[in-house]
Amino acid sequence: MSFNVLIVDDSNSIRSVIKKILNISGFRVDNCYEAGNGRQALDVLSKEWVDIILSDIHMPEMDGFELLKELHRHDVYTNIPVIMISTEGNESRIRDAYDLGAKGFIKKPFLPEELKKTLCEVIGVGDEGEYPTDTDECDF
């Protein structure tokens, strides 16, 4: 099974790094869409089917928290799992993200393994408690 992924971050560099990690981690990505903020992400979602969203919090125009609220307002988007990837990683901000429906949280800076592990957890690989190790390939 392969997935359509939407990466939301105002930094081109971070979007490129995440795409690269997805590729080298063995994730089967059908389409990888990109958006520079929450507004652009909603625009992508109105046109394309997306299985998982990786989103920054701190972005111009519409930030990651506003995006989570918008997703929650639309029945068709509310079940799309969202992983937040942010420099803002204090406990209360992480709680806020989960309260708004995020399924995972990764703090920048991050290692490729952290992204891979969280993705596998959120997508459901390793539900038996066996999460991939650094050397495991997470094969969806």
Partner 1 sequence: MKENTRQILMNAIFEVFEKMFFIFLEPVENTNNRYDHISSIDFEGRMKGGLSIKFSRKMAEMMARNMLGCEKDEITDHVLADCAKEAANMVCGNFLRKMSRDEIFKLGLPRYALRGRGEQEDMLPPAGADHITLSFKAESEEETLQLKFFGSNYD
Q: How many CB atoms sit inside 10 A of residue 82's CB?
A: 25
**Closest CB to partner 1 among residues 58, 72:** 58
**Closest CB to partner 1 among residues 103, 108:** 108
Give the angle subtended at the CA of 106 by the CAs of 78 and 57, to the nearest 5°: 60
Does position 110 bind partner 1 by CB under 8 A? yes
Binding mask 13-42 for partner 1 (x = CB under 8 A): xx-xx--x----------------------
Q: Binding to partner 1 (CB under 8 A): which residues in 73-102?
A: 86-93
Q: Binding to partner 1 (CB under 8 A): which residues in 47-66?
A: 58, 60
- Count interface residues toward partner 1 (CB under 8 A): 23
Does position 134 bind partner 1 by CB under 8 A? no
Binding site for partner 1 (CB under 8 A): 10-14, 16-17, 20, 58, 60, 86-93, 107-111
